Structure 1
Amino acid sequence: MFIILAFLILSFLVFFHELGHYIAARICGVRVETFSIGFGKKIICKTYRGTDYALSLIPLGGYVKLKGQGDLNPLEKDEAKDSYSTKKPLIKIVILFAGPLFNFILAFAIYLSIALYGGIEGVLPIVGEVKKDMPAFVAGLKEGDQIININQKKIRSWNEVHALISSEARVDMEIMRQGKKLSFSIPAQIQKRENVFGEMVDIYVIGIVARGDVGIIYQGLLDSIYYAFMEFYKSSKMILMGIQKMLIGVVSLKEIGGPIMIVDSIANFAQKDLTILFLWVALISVNLGILNLLPIPALDGGQILFNLYEILTGRMIHEQGARYLTLLGWVILFSLMLLGVFNDLRRIFGA
């Protein structure tokens, strides 16, 4: 049952991405020939106002086929007024960018909905242990101090305390102690820590630990919007850093996950906690949007580059070159997909 739910969620994410392309194309006067969830042979197909709406055999993706646009031939032409190929490059970019944009909108909406639904619980910014002889101890911080702001930034949770302190050589902190506001200026120390990518990096510390009090830290519309924005920003940053680390070899290619891992993860979270499931779905949606903007010719990002080239140079990219680059893009995509599936199977069988 949960596996079926996972496939439905993944299909919905793809549907929402393609819906962005579909709506933008219709607004820009481009005829949509096919709107398909899945690839391959069409299992169910219904034609309505010139568009084939289809559910296809392979449920790991989807596509929108526009008049005058070909996946294997980026310079496919159709001189009709409602053809994609007759539109100006800027209009094409709008249509191409709309898919990833819808993924970002969906992720933001999920984060916002989670925050509005009763608020977000988290560890409150209240100091627990103050480590002896560390900068915070020397400055005079005490257990029970509630941190109000750090370096002129309002603090809501201990996560924000950690994020700000770890990146600042000096911490200007305002705290509340027994109803009184006190200010401290604390020089931080550097320590070696392992980050999420397994690298040893230098971070700043002042020697304080959270007391562990849990409470509602985001509630109300404005706080919820702030939470949604910050979660979207952190998710995007983490994904982009992951891609960067993989390109420079810090993260092994063995860490690439495929559709099996995604479906399995969604199914596992669905059995545990609804909020965590939605957070995971939002992260996948951000990931889908960012990956589609990568400058690989077979993806939206690569096609956007072709159109930017035309805007900057005043001429279209050479047809044969565009065709070869697009084919290369498909080779890269299928290679990554096969690698992901191989890694998924390796994890399942415990290699």
Structure 2
Amino acid sequence: MSFLIAFLALSFLVFFHELGHFIAARIFGVRVEVFSIGFGVKIFSKKIGETQYALSMIPLGGYVKLKGQNDLDVLEQNCQNDSYSNKSPFVKIIILFAGPFFNFILAFFLFFMVGNMGVSTYLPIVGEVKKNMPAFEAGILENDEILSINAKQIKTWMDLQEAVAKDTMLNLVVLRKDKILDFTIRPEIIKAKNIFGEEIQKGVIGIAPSGKIGIVKYTGFESFEYASKKLYESSKIILLSVQKLISGIIPLKEVSGPVMIVDKLAQASKSDFVLLLLWVGLISVNLGILNLLPIPALDGGQILFNFYEILTRKPIYEKAKYYLTLFGWIILLSLMLLGLRNDILRLLGVW
């Protein structure tokens, strides 16, 4: 059952991405010939109006086939009014960008829902206070609850860590039993490792969490802030991961494919619905950003071609477009095969 939920979630993400392309195309009068969830042989199809809606055999993607656009033949042209190839580069960019944009909208909505439903997280309650560190010297005690730092409300231990990591003077408002106390603390700067294993400097005050977990809810404008922050942080991590992968800091064996994505979604569906929503939101952001990468086989590469036409006032040479797109497909298929290989090796316990 969990794997069925995972496949449905992944299919929904693809559907929403393609829905963005579909709606933008229809707004600008482009005929949509096929709207398919999945690739390969069509299991089910029904034509409504001018569009054939299909469910295809391989459920790891999807596509919309626009009149005058063919991913397998990038040189296909059609000069009729309802053709994609007859539209201006600016309109093409909007249609291409609409898919990833819908992924960002979906992710924001899911994060917004999570904020309202409540997130299970470590509470900002102090456990161990390390001797001879700033918090100890200021008088912070075990079981103190941090209410705010520099007038900003602290709801989670992560909020506390983010505030302390900055090299600034901190004004802490603390709840100790039934008393509200104020403390002024200067963080100590130490060397640490970030999520990519790189050495960084960050501020610490010498406290550890008590381990108490609670459900933190966000209401009203807080939900909007939470969703915006999650969308920004997710996008930033994914972009940095791509950069670190290209530069070689992240090894190729860390690249994941569709098998691992489905596995993660299945695990999340077993444990907690909120966790499942968070994972779907994160994958939606991932799908949006990866589709905007400047690889000719993806939306981002096609957007670059159209920007080139806007700047030079002439389309890219047909042969150049053909070979660049072919090269893009080679890169894309290589990454997919690499991800699939890594997934299989992980499942077999090799890594």
Same fold (TM over 0.5): yes
User: Which residue type is aligned with residue 349 of structure 2?
Assistant: G
User: Is the Cα–Cα contact under 8 Å of residues 72 and 326 in structure 1 kept in the other structure?
Assistant: no
**2:155 counterpart of 1:156:** yes
Partner in structure 2 of residue 27 of structure 1: 27
The percent of aligned pairs where both chains have the same amino acid is 55
Q: Residues of 2 paired with 1:121 and 1:272: CA distance? A: 12
| Residues 165, 171 of structure 1: 8 Å contact kept | no
Where 2:155 maps in the other structure, the secondary structure is: coil
**Kept after mapping to 2: 8 A contact 1:74/1:303:** no
Distance change in 2, residues 1:94/1:148 (3 Å): same
Aligned partner of 1:175: which letter? V
1:205-234, CA deviations, whole angstroms, 9 ceiling, x for partnerless residues? 121222344334333222222221122122
Secondary structure of the residue aligned to 1:321 is helix
Contact 1:74/1:323 (CA < 8 Å) preserved in 2?
yes
Aligned to 2:3: 3
Partner of 2:170: 172
Residue in 2 aligned with 1:278? Answer: 277
CA contact (8 A) 1:75 1:85 kept: no
Report what 2:315 is aligned to: 316
Please, which moves more after superposition, 21-30 or 259-268?
A: 259-268
Correspondence list, 1:184-223, <5 A: 184=184, 186-223=185-222
2:260 is matched by which residue type in structure 1? M
The secondary structure found in structure 2 opposite 1:257 is coil
Q: 1:218 and 1:229 mapped to 2: Cα distance?
A: 15
* 1:13 equivalent in structure 2: 13
Partner of 1:245: 244
In structure 2, C-alpha distance between the alignment counterparts of 1:326 and 1:214, rounded to whole Å? 50
Q: Name the aligned partner's letter for residue 70 of structure 1.
A: N
Structure 2 CA distance for aligned equivalents of residues 159 and 175 of structure 1: 16
Partner of 1:301: 300
Preserved CA contact (<8 Å) 2:138 2:183:
no
CA–CA distance in structure 1, aligned partners of residues 125 and 39 of structure 2: 52
Deviations 1:32-88 (A, max 9, x none): 011011111222121111111111121111000111112134343211111111111
Shift of 1:151: 4.3
Q: Detail structure 1 runs of 4+ shifted over 6 Å in the superposition.
A: none
Q: Which amino acid aligns with 1:191?
A: I
Where do 1:42-121 residues align within 5 Å?
A: 42-117=42-117, 119-121=118-120
Unaligned runs of 5+ in 2: none
- Per the TM alignment, residue 332 of structure 1 is displaced from its structure 2 partner at its CA by 0.4
SS of the counterpart of 1:196? coil
Distance (whole Å) between structure 2 residues aligned to residue 173 and residue 72 of structure 1: 60
Taking structure 1 as reference, are residues 225 and 42 closer, same or farther at Cα in structure 2, changes over 3 Å only?
A: same
Distance 1:23 1:170, change over 3 A: same
**RMSD, aligned CA:** 1.8
Partner of residue 327, structure 1: 326
Contact 2:167 2:202 in 1 (8 A): no
The answer to whether the Cα contact below 8 Å between 1:2 and 1:271 also exists between their aligned partners in 2 is yes
Deviation at 1:253, TM superposition (A): 0.4
Distance 1:149 1:76 in 2: 60
Matched residues in 2 for 1:82 and 1:41: separation?
27
Amino acid corresponding to residue 52 of structure 1 in structure 2 = Q
Counterpart of 1:305 in structure 2: which amino acid? L
Output aligned runs, 1:256-271, within 5 Å.
256-271=255-270
Q: Offset at 1:243?
A: 1.0
1:170 aligned counterpart, secondary structure: coil
Structure 1 residue ranges without an equivalent (≥5): none
Cα deviation per residue 1:240-276 (whole Å; 9 max; x = unaligned)? 1111111111111001111111112212222222221
Verify the 8 A CA contact 2:164 2:170 in the aligned structure 1: no
Is the contact between residue 121 and residue 218 of structure 1 (CA under 8 Å) also seen in structure 2?
no
- Shift in Å, 1:110: 1.2
TM-score of the pair, normalised by structure 1: 0.93
CA distance in 2, matches of 1:148, 1:88: 54
Q: Deviation digits for residues 116-160 of structure 1, max 9, x if unmatched?
A: 23x334333233332111122223333344434334543222101
CA distance in 2, matches of 1:213, 1:267: 27
Q: Identify the range of structure 1 (75-84 vs 23-32) with the bigger mean alpha-carbon deviation.
A: 75-84
